[in-house]
Structure 1
């Protein structure tokens, strides 16, 4: 796939046949796209454009149906998500070819300031099943996904900053967005919406929550890092028939502790009663799979404490605007994460009484 391109499109209308020809021909001399039919668009934190391409001659193994991901919605960009688009383009350009874990095939990736675009396979053409973030993924699928995460974390254990200059420590896009969402002007209205469950007083105290995240980020930045998906909730997952669960979006890839992905995933994946019943067994499964993939042999006590501490990441959904995610998804996620945070009390492990 290509390196960087200048002046990447910012709107769906600019995804023209000429643009596709220029993008794809970087690695495929002579390829020519003659027509682009946009079949549907899924708006969100990153927009997914599903298109059908017509070629003049040999398509050079680029499929007729593709999915184009990028920052095409200025409303989302206003929440500081430009760096997320830039990062996903860099991920598919540089890191994707090196990872053994299942993820979509890419045919073009480019990144520039505040924008990144990926032309990838349209997974619906392989019959992929997607989790929408509302429907629960289930205990068996949760186990599969934890094994996937353990493989990613194990093969990248103790990765140091600097190998890829674009790969941040911590989920940079979330931290930038939180500077807006956790601010005094927005915090109260966001956590007070109908989509958000009734929270205890300390979780409705903006200053308390801001301090907790500052402490967690400081802890994370000094910890042992792996390559994290960074936004590992169930709404990011897909499964090819006969295959295992895998992650679609990689705009929040980062260096972070393993527990960031694990706690954030489990908080979204299960009904609250199922999580309470199965989370310790699932953590044991993850622990063993991590060691088998090249990570360390962690103790049960360490796994449980790190899982509890990092459950705070789920609070992000209390502040997700409905221009970024549909109302029904926000409602489902906030209720699951709210219960997880109340159950596990990450604030205690961050030295905060309430």
Structure 2
């Protein structure tokens, strides 16, 4: 259950509150001491809280997130991404893909803030991924199999089946969102002109937003499933043994499966490796789906859907590149290049037209 609360400043959580959080999953645990091990601020505020126990046992530390400063909170309001991770982790619904174990989700609506407490992954010796280190083909295949499990469980998703997920909405290209993307892309193009294919830069902010909007309108067509919503490579990790998991569930939506697949696949591999393997990897995902036979996308339909997805990744990462306060320049440059390459190689503009024709 998602709880309503006032989130304390400076990570000043009491032992009593942390006992409430931990004891739900570790009965008999009583926290005696809470310490701040480290913390940082950016698009969100993050901290690692150390825990000691007077009775019982539980995790030695929990990873904690709240919204960032007011500027970032208002941005999340405009994009529709406020509260989603806390609502997801507080829903009690099991997520059938490797992810950090959730402990608490709470909302402070008056201050446009929320609180998420989850497993500290460091004791499991996971490898956190980012765009500066392309994944292997097998890593990406593992991630796609995980996404297939997620999408299969929630295929034909409805609030009637999952009442605690009734808040999940489809992606919407609202006017505010479109204007935000357009303005940010205009700046991002100038910041990353050396990483963008020339043809992409020539679109300008308005052109990138136009193709982003056309793509977003397709995401609600076809069978709806639960989407991670932000499954780029930087929100993935690898556990010992090679399984890929996903963290940062702050953009959860419902929509077409290809949204997650394309956003992960096209940004996770270097350009040449992606070119050589993307068709087979989309098929790997398709074969891992467990959905009604009549609703299984064909190989051709699946790849057509994949071809449309770079319109999203390209615009979002060019927009992200408008400021170093969101992601590092190196990460943005890699992703701008990869999604821009995919947009051209896969002829995303034609693919969106073909998809529109097939859905008539």
Q: When the two structures are superposed, what TM-score results if normalisation uses the length of structure 2?
A: 0.84
Q: Per the alignment, do residues 226 and 201 of structure 1 end up closer, same or farther by CA in structure 2, a change over 3 Å counting?
A: closer
- Per-residue CA shift, 1:113-171, capped at 9, x if unaligned? 3322121111101111111232111111011111111111112111135642221112x
Contact 2:2 2:86 in 1 (8 A): no
CA distance in 1, matches of 2:14, 2:191: 40
The alpha-carbon deviation at position 74 of structure 1 amounts to 3.8
SS state at 1:84 partner: coil
In the TM superposition, 1:336-351 aligns within 5 A as 336-351=338-353
Pairwise CA RMSD: 2.9
CA distance in 2, matches of 1:183, 1:64: 44
- Matched pairs, number: 344
Between 108-117 and 143-152, the greater mean CA deviation after superposition: 108-117
CA distance in 2, matches of 1:254, 1:126: 28
Answering whether residue 317 of structure 2 is matched by residue 317 of structure 1, we say yes
SS state at 1:275 partner: helix
SS state at 2:107 partner: strand
CA distance in 2, matches of 1:293, 1:134: 38
Contact 1:262 1:307 in 2 (8 A): yes
| Counterpart position of 1:94 | 91
CA distance in 2, matches of 1:43, 1:137: 27
Q: Per the alignment, do residues 309 and 98 of structure 1 end up closer, same or farther by CA in structure 2, a change over 3 Å counting?
A: same
Between 191-200 and 121-130, the greater mean CA deviation after superposition: 191-200
Between 302-311 and 42-51, the greater mean CA deviation after superposition: 42-51
The gaps in structure 2 that reach 5 residues or longer are 355-360
Contact 2:178 2:213 in 1 (8 A): no
CA distance in 2, matches of 1:76, 1:258: 28
SS state at 2:191 partner: coil
SS state at 1:255 partner: strand
CA distance in 2, matches of 1:295, 1:137: 33
Answering whether residue 256 of structure 2 is matched by residue 257 of structure 1, we say yes
Contact 2:85 2:251 in 1 (8 A): yes
Contact 1:49 1:68 in 2 (8 A): yes
| Counterpart position of 2:166 | 165
Q: 2:186 aligns with which of 188, 202, 214?
A: 188
- Per-residue CA shift, 1:29-88, capped at 9, x if unaligned? 8865443322222444333311211233334xx311111122144453242268535110
SS state at 1:55 partner: strand
| Counterpart position of 1:56 | 54
In the TM superposition, 1:29-40 aligns within 5 A as 32-40=30-38
CA distance in 2, matches of 1:175, 1:45: 21
Between 101-110 and 36-45, the greater mean CA deviation after superposition: 36-45
Contact 2:189 2:201 in 1 (8 A): no
Q: Per the alignment, do residues 324 and 215 of structure 1 end up closer, same or farther by CA in structure 2, a change over 3 Å counting?
A: same
CA distance in 1, matches of 2:207, 2:177: 14
The alpha-carbon deviation at position 228 of structure 1 amounts to 0.8
CA distance in 1, matches of 2:348, 2:232: 18
| Counterpart position of 2:119 | 121
